[in-house]
Structure 1
Amino acid sequence: MSRAIPQPPGYPFLGNIFSLNNGQILTPFVDVPAHGFHELARKFGEIYQLNLLGRKVIFVSSYALVNELCDDSRFRKSVGGALKETRNLLNDGIFTAFDGETSWNVAHRLLVPAFVRKSFGAKPALQTDTNKLDSMPIDLNIDPTDDLTRVALDTIALCSMSYRQDSQPPFVQTMVDFLQECNNRANRPKIVQMFLNATNGKYQRDIEQMRNTAKAILQDRKANPTDSKDMLNVMLRGRDPKTGAQMSDESIIDNLLTFLIAGHETTSGTMSFALYYLLKHPEVMKELQSEIDNVLGDQPAQLGDLTRMQYLNAVIRETIRLQPTAAIRAIYPLEDTVIGGGKYFVMKNEPIALQIWDLHRDISIWEEFKPERMLKENFELLPPNAWQPFGFGMRSCIGRAFAWQEMCLVLSSIVQRFDLALVDPSYELQITQAITIKPKDFRILARQR
């Protein structure tokens, strides 16, 4: 017989919206929801449920349960919360489509083989950005999260559509504002949202500005065709191998914007977290600097060097374990089912949130920051689905190989060229969250080596 899933006490109509902030009624939502969910998992255990303004969501955090739920034959990706709000911009793009939407199937069959070709021009694009480091002042006091966000955005724009974004402040700020508002809208009662006229107006203007930018790029490519082997040409010229269909202009715009958002948010956050952990663990920084010096010398990194920098790969794996930038993912069961060895009943289509932030801290598997556990021979011995920052199954991240190359190339260039230190040696990691998580108030000193 199945057990009742634990749930904190709530309020009529509002449900458990105050449970994420220790019951403080005037401030119902924490800045970092992932931390609020973490505290609930500590209190209620591996599974609990919340009523969020009338919408029931089940949360799971243990390795045993998450591993069971990583099964495409029983569960599918659920697009809800802040991710669902991004559909106002991205519609049924490759990342935000509901299960079974036709446009996703066509785009997926066209784009997956293209991403399998690995580099997609990443090296020339990244070399342009990393070469800028050489012309910087000798001593820098920088916000690495902000700078790496711009590098990542420039890179994905150049590689996906041969477009040099050059970190245009209006577009970057528009995207940041849009993502933050998506997170806010997911946490507001709809009746409150209706009366926020100024906020709603800006949100719509932000959407129009970003779609107009992508539309202009598409129209320019149509008017001035090139032989560039970028994602834009793949979408313009490709045909679905199953149906022969081509992607519509609207679908191309949806996916261009998807690449910009999904392709820069996660990588820039991970690189920023990596710098934090390196600075907090000087013995790891020393080991990494030694490896990079031995492999690269004073030469820029090439794609062929990445497999030789095993410790760098381990540092990134361990960073993304502790701080998976997509801290929570959601799925739903295709049929009524029981999970946890028959302990818990879950109804068909009921959303289940996988707390990846907690999965990656399950004490049955993990401990402190320790890159050595992620070296190739150890990494391959990890239990299935214990480390899954890129999702699982058919809806896993199709750009993970590209993102990994980008992170390796950028981080190796930074560590090769600079000695780093915290501006405030007493700084302890703080996090901000919109769609993804990133360091907050994190500043470093960079001195050319």
Structure 2
Amino acid sequence: MAETTTQAARPRGFRSAELGWPELHRIPHPPRRLPLLGDVLGADRRTPLQDSLRFARQLGPIYRRKAFNREFVFVWGADLVADLADESRFAKHVGLGVANLRPVAGDGLFTAYNHEPNWQLAHDVLAPGFSREAMEGYHPMMLAVAERLTDHWDRELAAGQAVDVPGDMTKLTLETIARTGFGHDFGSFERSRPHPFVSAMVGTLTYAQRLNSVPFPQLLRRAARRNEDDISYLNRTVDDLVRARRTASGDGDLLDRMLETTHPETGERLSAENVRRQVITFLVAGHETTSGALSFALHYLARHPDIAARARAEVDRVWGGTAVPGYDQVAKLRYVRRVLDESLRLWPTAPAFAREAVRDTELAGVHPMRQGAWTLVLTPMLQRDPAVWGADAERFDPDRFEAKAVRSRPPHTFKPFGTGARACIGRQFALHEATLVLGLLLRRYELRPDPAYRLRVAERLTLMPEGLRLHLERRTPTADVSPAADLDEAPSELRCPVHGAGD
């Protein structure tokens, strides 16, 4: 059954009749606003995020849009976002598309309201699953799945075929989180079509986004029935996976922690229903965003052969003749990591996060906000703010993440994994996996773009390059085994202790 969000389940301070911005009139909105329709004229419901970026460039660091009877405040200015990061005054807001996912994910880590107790319980139980010791255990499984990808790409290369980058990255990341977290194999690389789990997942994400663009959900009656079928399939798949684990011992992965681990202080366990919700959360969020990040990075590497050559030279130098890179060797690919960070800067695959006031306050000392008032942070615009990133902020340049450049920037200007206590718990997992895969692909292939391709970004709550195909050439890596010099590297804004992270 689909879960409904009751008034009691909503965060304290929620006001259905008003936004909670007493001086809303001071915040600009698009011109030619129409009665009833608001600002939807000329908008494309398939690309609401990119529409919002267009308005952001026109209207400035804070603005508002109205769609039918709903009005939203958007923020992207660096000083405003830095103020929203103050955890004593602001917290995660579950709204828009995220709230629309509650029928499938409920009070899972990503979709839980702040006052729901299962969020903290699940976070405390699962955080050790992303410790260094746990990550070292996942590394061999990541390598095994990456080998399935390269075997597949070798076959495509031999057949003279271009590779489907988003499709293959989705297969890779789904198999990686399924294997490492839940001991399951979806057999993605043995299928000519996406696994039904992926199709159901895309359906639920797309439906959640569409709900934001229609005045009455009743208009989506047929889509709602398909969404219910998709949710039922996701639930059945996860229930079968959990049932199998209860009859057979695991190896201490995330599912074992969900089923067996008690809270270190209270002794509580996750309920069976919450286990299902957490598994769905990890399977969906644990692969959908990483596949997009890898796809954008490969697009930019193919389009910038000089950057690809520099990254490839680093892989050859650091990994040398090592057939199988060890866990510690991945973190030494510092330029490859910069390529990934720069891709996430331009196209953070989770492109927005919402913050709400936990008490009456003023945003940056300018805009009054009542308790419960909320705003949506447009991460791609924050990470393109010319005041922070320069006049060439739209240009792809991994050297923006060179150590000195990172130290020179103010905090809270690079937020692809969200912010605060509810930032992504799996960020280190995603970064290790993506850096490893990029290193392996750069070492094995030359990437050739289709000259006719122009980047198109598909939106389904997350972002993905649409229709991206690359041609490959097999290469022989340089057998230089000399140790790489340690580069002067500032701590990344994303390398925070696991136990300080949340979702």
Equivalent residue number for residue 280 of structure 1: 303
Which residue type is aligned with residue 82 of structure 1? G
Q: Which amino acid aligns with 2:108?
A: G
2:208 matches 1:182 = yes
Inter-partner Cα distance in structure 2 for 1:47 and 1:93: 30
Q: Deviations over 1:163-192 (max 9, x none)?
A: 1122262222121122111111222222xx
Is 1:343 paired with 2:366?
yes
Kindly report the root-mean-square deviation, in angstroms, between the aligned alpha carbons of the 2 structures: 1.8
Residue by residue over 1:363-414, the C-alpha shift from the partner in whole angstroms, topping out at 9 and shown as x without a partner, is 0121322112212343243210111111111001000000011001111111
AA aligned to 2:293 is T
Q: Which one of 189, 194, 217 corresponds to residue 218 of structure 2?
A: 194
Q: Which amino acid aligns with 2:162?
A: N
Matched-pair contact (CA < 8 Å) for 2:28–2:62: yes
Q: Cα distance, 1:38 vs. partner?
A: 1.2
- Give the AA of the match of 2:249: P
Which residue number in structure 1 is paired with residue 492 of structure 2? none
Contact 1:77 1:395 in 2 (8 A): yes
What TM-score do the two structures reach when normalised by structure 2? 0.83
In 2, Cα distance between equivalents of 1:172 and 1:441? 17
Q: Which residue does 1:387 correspond to in 2?
A: 414
Find the residue that maps to 1:194 and give its secondary structure.
helix
Query: Hey, what does 2:485 align to over in structure 1?
Result: none
Structure 2 CA distance for aligned equivalents of residues 385 and 66 of structure 1: 7
- Other structure's SS at 2:267 match: coil
Partner of 2:92: 77
Tell me the equivalent position of 1:446.
472
- What is the CA deviation profile of residues 30-49 of structure 1, one whole-angstrom value per residue up to 9, with x for unaligned ones? 42222111111122111112
Letter in 2 for 1:291: E
Runs of 5+ unmatched residues, structure 2: 1-21, 189-193, 476-503
Aligned equivalents of 1:379, 1:119: Cα separation in 2: 25
1:279-318 equivalent positions in 2, closer than 5 A = 279-298=302-321, 299-318=323-342
Which one of 260, 266, 269 corresponds to residue 237 of structure 1? 260
Aligned to 1:364, the other structure's residue is in SS state: helix
Map 1:359-374 to 2 at 5 A. Answer: 359-366=382-389, 367=393, 368-374=395-401
Deviates more, 1:134-143 or 1:255-264: 134-143
Give the Cα separation in 2 of the matches to 1:34 and 1:197. 24
SS in 1 for 2:26: coil
Q: Which moved more, 1:131-140 or 1:428-437?
A: 131-140
Cα offset, 1:221, TM superposition = 1.0
1:196/1:392 CA distance change after superposition, 3 Å? closer
- The CA distance in 1 between the partners of 2:263 and 2:35, in whole Å, is 49
Instruction: Tell me the residue number matched to 1:270.
Output: 293
Q: How far apart are the structure 2 equivalents of 1:120 and 1:79? A: 33
Alpha-carbon spacing, 1:53–1:78, altered in 2? closer, same or farther (3 Å): farther
What's the offset of the Cα at 1:120? 6.1
Contact 1:300/1:413 (<8 A) preserved = no
The equivalences for 1:150-189 within 5 A come to: 150-167=171-188, 169-189=195-215
Letter aligned with residue 428 of structure 1: R
Question: Structure 1: how far apart are the matches of 2:238 and 2:202?
Answer: 16
Q: Is the 8 A contact 2:78 2:413 kept in 1?
A: yes
How far has the Cα of 1:114 moved from its partner? 2.2
Which amino acid is 1:373 matched to? R
SS in 2 for 1:56: strand
Task: Judge conservation of contact 2:336–2:435 (CA < 8 Å) in 1.
Answer: yes
Report how many residues are paired.
436
Which position in structure 2 is the counterpart of 1:142?
163
Task: Please list the CA deviations of residues 275-312 of structure 1 after superposition, one character each: whole Å capped at 9, or x if unmatched.
Answer: 11112211101101111111223523221112221111
C-alpha displacement at 1:357, in angstroms? 0.6
**Is 1:326 aligned to residue 350 of structure 2?**
yes
Pick the aligned partner of 1:434 from 445, 454, 460.
Answer: 460
8 Å CA contact retained: 1:120, 1:229: no
Distance of 1:160 and 1:296 partners within structure 2: 27
Q: In 2, Cα distance between the equivalents of 1:92 and 1:447?
A: 46
Mapped to 1, the partners of 2:206 and 2:46 lie a distance apart of 11
Asked if the contact 2:163/2:470 (under 8 Å) is kept, the reply is: yes
The TM-score with structure 1 as length reference comes to: 0.93
Letter in 2 for 1:174: A
State whether structure 2 residue 147 is matched by structure 1 residue 131.
Answer: yes
2:138 and 2:165 mapped to 1: Cα distance?
20
Shift of 1:218: 0.9
Amino acid at match of 1:123: H
